[in-house]
């Protein structure tokens, strides 16, 4: 709804957006407005020169002027035309990069907004849709944010041409000029209906195209290759693709039908305009005995005059469309930030300080959801405590972690850092207190060392090595050509290494350790690890978390035993809390889940591998 409201009523108008673009150009590339004006002068100058060539030459022939003078006039006209067209071409090809810089600047602003916005915005479908539209409006040299300058060139060209032609025609009956303007305006209006149709059905056309492109690309996507083959998805995808193509073709056919009628109207109006104009010209030529050169000048000027009028109207309509896109970009850049950033209180990280975090009557509901994910949660995460969070799928564990680290703000209640509401602080300063391993990874295509240190320069290589070692990845990295300087990922580097799921998870753990933050958040950090690697992490867990506050989510209940406290989430509430032993003794939900997990180990595997009879070996237990 919000997205619709945004596109329906632009907040910024055409003139405001022109000012906005000029201000960016002024900062980034001052040549742009000058090139726009110069190109308009060249283009209109060339058209005006062409208007005069034939009548002037004909006039000289009529008046029996000297042949050499006529040749000189032709040479002069040719030189002027060459100079104007040459200058126009030069500006058009050599100054295009200046315009691209302005567009890049916008793209950069959009990227900065997206990467830095309050995390909750990234969950908002309206925000994501707006971001996509903004990126589309900047994605090529033909995108509206770059075409905008060409449109202004066209407008200025047409305005100059209009003024000069009007001056030429001023000696004729003003009613003729009125007829030319009126028919040109009528042509424009019928053309505008087409544009409006296109604009109104833009989403429909884009959706049909997107669906077709998606299905068209599907077969080539590597991540689908296995499923397509094993499940025999080919006929299904081809059928869907054929359906999408039919929808797209039907949309194009409708558009073409609408366009055809506008073209018919345009031809009829042009025919009427030219008929009236030429009849009038022939009449005054006969009545007032106009010379052939004057007749030719008026004749050419009348045909061209209508073009300038439609040119001005068309280009303003074009500018209006581009302005809508620019308004969307500006509205996106203005998108409200629920979190405080630079406007918040700075938060200095205190070296050696163990922070306490409190959830005070915290409830949280995702935007658009019908029920709360967390309800009235009260929790003190004590300074230096190792807290484990367990619960069934969807119990709200990850949501709890996101509230703790300030990705989400409670819909009711408060999150406190050492007793102070975190909403008062610059949220980016607050993030500095955390290192985390989340369930979804973000590995950049760069070197292993850079991924661990999350920087390009100034990497502490000794620390990278120590963290890789702690995360159990040092041996695998040493075996790679280049070691920590080996590239990972194939999107950028053809020789990039592809890490396995477990190795990537260890890399993420090494990254979290490198940050050396006072609070460590681990959301199922061992889900992709083999049992030996997992056990290794557990053995090192005390060392990893020494001097830090940590929150550890795991589905493997036995793995939480080495935490100081376990909270068991159920239906968005803390149902039970205590140590592993006290929770087992209490015989509640945690104990029941633990019994289910350890059953298979007691009945089989654990017995075979020598696990404890009570099923409390660190490596035991399946996942919930």
Q: List interacting residues with ligand ATP (CB under 6 A).
A: 123, 366, 369, 373, 391, 393-399
CB of 310 vs ligand ATP, minimal distance in Å: 50
Q: Which is nearer to ligand ATP, 396 or 611 (CB)?
A: 396
Say how far apart CA 360 and CA 452 lie, in whole Å: 34
Positions of E strands within 72-118:
none
CB of 313 vs ligand ATP, minimal distance in Å: 47
Q: Which of 375, 360, 379, 362 is nearest to 420 (CA)?
A: 360
Q: Positive or negative, the Cα torsion across 113, 19, 308, 53?
A: negative
Q: Which is nearer to ligand ATP, 1 or 369 (CB)?
A: 369
Joined together, the tokens standing for residue 81 give 């035309």
Cβ–Cβ < 8 Å for 388, 379: no
Say how far apart CA 404 and CA 394 lie, in whole Å: 17
Looking at the chain, the number of H-run helices and the number of E-run strands are: 23, 10
Q: Which is nearer to ligand ATP, 407 or 425 (CB)?
A: 407
CB of 314 vs ligand ATP, minimal distance in Å: 44
Q: What is the DSSP letter of 471?
A: T
Q: Which of 474, 525, 529 is nearest to 500 (CA)?
A: 529
CB of 391 vs ligand ATP, minimal distance in Å: 5
Q: Which of 157, 148, 146 is nearest to 312 (CA)?
A: 157
Q: Which is nearer to ligand ATP, 50 or 571 (CB)?
A: 571
CB of 568 vs ligand ATP, minimal distance in Å: 11
Cβ–Cβ < 8 Å for 381, 356: yes
Q: Which is nearer to ligand ATP, 123 or 476 (CB)?
A: 123
Q: Which is nearer to ligand ATP, 347 or 395 (CB)?
A: 395
CB of 505 vs ligand ATP, minimal distance in Å: 15
Q: Which is nearer to ligand ATP, 392 or 480 (CB)?
A: 392
Q: Which is nearer to ligand ATP, 157 or 373 (CB)?
A: 373
Provide the phi-psi class of 64: left if phi over 0, else alpha when psi is between -120 and 50, else beta.
left
Joined together, the tokens standing for residue 595 give 């019994």
Q: Which of 297, 301, 299 is nearest to 62 (CA)?
A: 297
CB of 123 vs ligand ATP, minimal distance in Å: 5
Say how far apart CA 541 and CA 539 lie, in whole Å: 6
Cβ–Cβ < 8 Å for 555, 623: yes
Say how far apart CA 563 and CA 282 lie, in whole Å: 100
Q: Which is nearer to ligand ATP, 68 or 393 (CB)?
A: 393
CB of 397 vs ligand ATP, minimal distance in Å: 4
Identify any residues that bridge with 387 across adjacent strands, giving them in sequence order. Answer: 551, 565
Joined together, the tokens standing for residue 316 give 């303003």
CB of 551 vs ligand ATP, minimal distance in Å: 12
């Amino acid at each position: 709804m919000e997205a619709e409201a945004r596109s329906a009523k632009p907040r910024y108008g055409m003139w405001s957006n022109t000012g906005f673009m000029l201000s960016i150009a002024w900062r980034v590339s001052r040549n742009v407005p000058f090139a726009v004006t110069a190109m308009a002068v060249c283009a209109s100058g060339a058209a005006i020169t062409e208007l005069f060539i034939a009548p002037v030459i004909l006039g000289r022939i009529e008046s029996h002027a000297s042949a050499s003078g006529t040749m000189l006039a032709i040479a002069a006209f040719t030189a002027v035309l060459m100079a104007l067209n040459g200058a126009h071409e030069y500006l058009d090809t050599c100054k295009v990069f200046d315009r691209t810089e302005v567009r890049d600047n916008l793209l950069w602003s959009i990227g900065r907004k997206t990467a830095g916005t309050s995390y909750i915005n990234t969950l908002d479908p309206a925000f994501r849709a707006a971001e996509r539209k903004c990126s589309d409006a900047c994605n090529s040299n033909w995108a509206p944010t770059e075409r905008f300058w060409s449109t202004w060139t066209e407008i200025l060209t047409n305005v100059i041409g209009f003024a000069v032609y009007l001056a030429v025609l001023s000696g004729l009956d003003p009613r003729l000029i009125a007829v030319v303007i009126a028919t040109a305006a009528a042509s424009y209006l019928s053309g505008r209906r087409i544009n409006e149709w296109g604009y109104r059905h833009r989403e429909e056309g884009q959706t049909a195209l997107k669906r077709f492109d998606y299905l068209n690309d599907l077969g080539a996507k590597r991540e689908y290759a296995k499923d397509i083959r094993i499940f025999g998805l080919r006929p299904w995808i081809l059928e869907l693709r054929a359906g999408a193509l039919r929808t797209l073709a039907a949309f194009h056919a409708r558009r073409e039908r609408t366009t055809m009628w506008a073209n018919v109207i345009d031809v009829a109006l042009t025919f009427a305009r030219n008929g009236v104009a030429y009849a009038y010209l022939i009449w005054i030529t006969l009545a007032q005995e106009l010379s052939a050169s004057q007749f030719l000048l008026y004749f050419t000027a009348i045909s061209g005059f209508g073009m300038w009028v439609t040119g001005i109207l068309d280009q303003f309509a074009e500018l209006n469309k581009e302005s809508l896109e620019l308004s969307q970009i500006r509205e996106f850049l203005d998108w409200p930030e629920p979190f405080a950033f630079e406007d918040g209180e700075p938060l200095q990280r205190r070296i050696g300080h163990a922070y306490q975090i409190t959830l005070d009557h915290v409830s949280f509901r995702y935007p658009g959801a019908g029920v709360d994910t967390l309800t009235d949660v009260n929790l003190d995460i004590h300074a230096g405590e190792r807290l484990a969070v367990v619960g069934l799928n969807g119990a709200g564990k990850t949501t709890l972690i996101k509230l703790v680290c300030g990705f989400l703000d409670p819909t009711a209640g408060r999150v406190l850092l050492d007793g102070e509401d975190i909403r008062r602080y610059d949220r980016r300063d607050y993030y500095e207190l955390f290192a985390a391993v989340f369930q979804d990874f973000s590995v950049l295509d760069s070197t292993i060392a850079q991924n661990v240190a999350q920087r390009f320069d100034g990497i502490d290589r000794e620390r990278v090595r120590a963290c890789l070692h702690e995360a159990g990845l040092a041996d695998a990295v040493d075996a790679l050509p280049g070691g920590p300087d080996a590239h990972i990922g194939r999107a950028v580097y053809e020789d990039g290494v592809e890490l396995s799921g477990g190795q990537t998870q260890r890399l993420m753990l090494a990254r979290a350790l490198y940050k050396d933050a006072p609070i460590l958040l681990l959301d199922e950090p061992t889900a992709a690890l083999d049992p030996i690697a997992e056990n290794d992490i557990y053995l090192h867990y005390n060392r990893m978390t020494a001097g830090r506050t940590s929150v550890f989510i795991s589905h493997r209940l036995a793995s939480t035993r080495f935490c100081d406290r376990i909270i068991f989430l159920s239906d968005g509430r803390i149902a039970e809390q205590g140590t592993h032993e006290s929770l087992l003794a209490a015989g509640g939900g945690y104990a029941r889940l633990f019994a289910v997990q350890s059953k298979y180990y007691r009945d089989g595997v654990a017995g075979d591998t020598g696990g404890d009879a009570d099923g409390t070996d660190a490596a035991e237990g399946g996942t919930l």
